[in-house]
Amino acid sequence: MPIVKALYRYPVKGFTPEARDALTVQDDGRIAGDRVLAFRFADAARPEERDGLDYWPKSRGLSLMDFPALARIRVHWDGVRLRLTLDGDLLADETLESAGRRRLADAVTAFVETTSDARRLRASGRLPLELVGDGAVPRFQDRPRGFASLHSTASVAALDALVDAPVDDRRFRSNIVIDGIDAWGELAWTGLVRIGDVAFEVQKPIARCLAIHANPDTGERDARLLPTLTKRIGQDEPTLGTLLLPVGPGGVLRVGDDVAVG
Q: Could you give all domains of the chain from N- to C-terminal order, each with its CATH number?
A: 3-261 (2.40.33.20)
Residue 145, pLDDT above cutoff 80: no
pLDDT above 70 covers a percentage of the chain that reads: 100
What is the per-residue pLDDT for 127? 97
Q: What's CA 142's distance to the chain center, in Å?
A: 9
CA distance 8 to 240: 16
SS3 136: coil
Q: Judge contact between 5 and 181, C-beta under 8 A.
A: no
219 sits in the region (left: phi over 0; alpha: psi -120 to 50; else beta) called: left
Mean pLDDT of 156-175: 97
Q: What is the pLDDT of residues 198-250, one digit of tens each?
A: 999 999 999 999 999 999 999 999 999 999 999 999 999 999 999 999 998 89
3-state secondary structure of 179: strand
Helix (H) or strand (E) holding 99: helix 98-112
The DSSP letter of residue 170 is G
The DSSP 8-state label assigned to residue 66 in this structure reads: T
Three-class secondary structure of residue 76 per DSSP = strand
- Could you report the per-residue pLDDT of 88-107, keeping only the tens digit for each? 999 999 999 999 999 999 99
Q: At residue 262, does pLDDT exceed 90?
A: no
